[in-house]
């Protein structure tokens, strides 16, 4: 599955009920580091497509999910497994570092 957007309305279905781990980027249109991170996430989505779904949710358009998970800074990355957040980091990072950090969550 390619990198895609989710909303408050479909977050449960797309993330919490997914049959495998999902990396969620909490993002915002105005967020510079989020824009830097977008190509990294697209590459990770492609590289890890067998093991992981990668989605983004805009916190301004979808505040309920951000509030539910206590997201205060953008970008916040979270991995969800079996409907629960199991890993979280704040800030942009290079692909190699992100893959190393994700290894512990997957």
Query: What domains are there in the chain, each with its CATH number?
Result: 4-105 (3.40.30.10)
Q: Is-above-0.75 flag for pTM?
A: yes
Query: Which positions are catalytic?
Result: 31, 34
Query: What is Dmax (Cα atoms) for the chain?
Result: 32
Give the CA-trace dihedral at 67, 72, 42, 17, to 10 degrees. -20
Helices (H), 1-106: 11, 32-47, 63-68, 95-105
Question: What gap in Å lies between CA 53 and CA 44, rounded to an integer?
Answer: 9
Q: 3-class DSSP state for residue 91?
A: coil
Hunting for tokens 């909490």 — which residue is that? 26
Question: What gap in Å lies between CA 95 and CA 81, rounded to an integer?
Answer: 21
**pLDDT band for position 104 (cuts 50, 70, 90):** confident
Q: What is the pLDDT of residues 22-50, one digit of tens each?
A: 999 999 999 999 999 999 999 999 999 99
Q: Is the confidence at residue 53, as pLDDT, over 60? A: yes
Q: Return the number of other C-beta atoms located less than 10 Å from residue 91's C-beta.
A: 13
Q: Is the confidence at residue 14, as pLDDT, over 90? A: yes
Q: Is the confidence at residue 1, as pLDDT, over 60? A: no
């Amino acid at each position: 599955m390619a990198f895609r957007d989710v909303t408050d309305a479909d977050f449960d279905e797309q993330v919490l009920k997914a049959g495998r781990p999902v990396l969620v980027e909490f993002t915002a249109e105005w967020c510079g580091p989020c824009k830097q991170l977008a190509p990294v996430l697209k590459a990770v989505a492609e590289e890890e497509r067998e093991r992981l779904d990668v989605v983004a949710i805009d916190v301004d358009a979808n505040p309920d999910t951000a509030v539910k998970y206590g997201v205060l800074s953008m970008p916040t990355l979270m991995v969800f497994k079996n409907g629960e957040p199991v890993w979280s980091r704040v800030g942009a990072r290079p692909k190699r570092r992100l893959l190393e950090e994700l290894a512990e969550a997957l």
